[in-house]
Amino acid sequence: MRDSPDKGSKGRPEEPNDRHRVFWIYVLILGGGVLFFFLGGLLMRNPNLPSYLYSRVTGWLGNESNTSSRRVPPPPKTAEDYLQLTHYDVRVLPPDQRGVALALADAIGSAAAVQDRLAALEQNVRNDLQTLRKADALAAYAKMKSSAATLLQAANQQKIFFQSLETNLTQQFEKSGLHEDLAKQIAALFYQGMPVRKALDQADTSEKLASELLAIANLLSETPNKWRVSSNGAISSPDKKLEEEYREHYEAFVSLINR
C-alpha cells in the first residue's frame, strides 16, 4: 500500500512547520554565503581593516577600564603638557584642549595607516615578482602595471603626509585657540617624536621600486615585437638601444628588490 503524497519519508504526515524549517535553512545558507563573499571582498580591498578595528576596540576598552583617563588633567602650560593630553578621555577636556588631543590622536592614527598601507602594497608587488620569472614575463609585467601605479601613488601620499605634518598640526592647534608660538612648539615636539626619517626613506624606496617597474612595463608594452623571453623569464632584444634601456631599468629594479 503506497504512502499518501502528503506524508514524509518516514511515513508521518508532512507538517507546515517542516516547509518553514526548510525555507529558513535555505535563507541562512544563502545569507551566510553572501556575507562570506562580502567580508572577503572587503578584506581584500582593505587588508589593514582587522588590525584597525582591533586597535579601535582595544583602545576604547582601555579608556573605559582606565578610570584615571576620565580625570580632568591640570591646565597644560608647556608643549610637553599638551602632548600628555592624548592619555585622557577627550570628553572631560575643555574645548581648546580637546581640539589639541583630537588632532594629535588623528595624526598618530593617520601616520600608522599610511605606513601600513604602503607596506602592504609593496609586499603585494613583491609577492607577484615570481610571475616575472616565467616564459610569459611580458604579460606579467603588463599585469603588474596597475599595482605599481597604486604603490607609486601611496608612496607619494606618505611623503606628503610626513612632510606637511608639522605645518598641518600647527594650523589645527591654532584653530583650537592656541597662540601661534605655542602651537608651533607642540607641533615641533610631536614631529620630533615621530619616525619621520624612517617613513620618508620607506616612501622613497617604494617610489623608486614602483617607478622602475612601471618604466620596464611601459618599455615592453610600447615595443611588443622587439623582445625575446626565455623559459625562466629572461628578456633580451636584438635592438641594442632598447636592450641598454631595459638593462638600465632592470638592474636598478633588482637592486631595489634586494634592499
Residues near 180 by beta carbon (within 8 Å), at least 6 away in sequence: 170, 174
Q: Is residue 63 part of a domain?
A: yes
Q: Is residue 86 part of a domain?
A: yes
Helices (H), the chain: 16-45, 49-65, 79-83, 95-127, 137-143, 145-175, 180-193, 196-222, 240-257
Q: Is residue 8 part of a domain?
A: no
High-pLDDT (> 70) share of the chain, %: 76
Between 68-77, 129-138, 155-164, 218-227, the lowest mean confidence (pLDDT) is in 68-77
Query: Tens of pLDDT along 20-49?
Result: 677 777 767 877 766 666 666 655 555 555
Q: Is residue 77 part of a domain?
A: yes
Q: Is residue 21 part of a domain?
A: no
Residues near 239 by beta carbon (within 8 Å), at least 6 away in sequence: 223, 226
DSSP letter (8 states) at residue 14: P
| 173 close to 100: Cβ distance less than 8 angstroms | yes
Structural domain including 115 reads: 46-257
Q: Is residue 166 part of a domain?
A: yes
User: Is residue 73 very low, low, confident or very high in pLDDT (cuts 50, 70, 90)?
Assistant: confident
pLDDT beyond 60 at 11 = no
Q: Is residue 65 part of a domain?
A: yes
Question: Which single residue is written with the C-alpha cell 578621555?
Answer: 89
Q: Is residue 56 part of a domain?
A: yes
> How many separate domains does the chain show?
1
* pTM exceeding the 0.85 threshold for the entire prediction: no
Mean pLDDT of the chain: 85
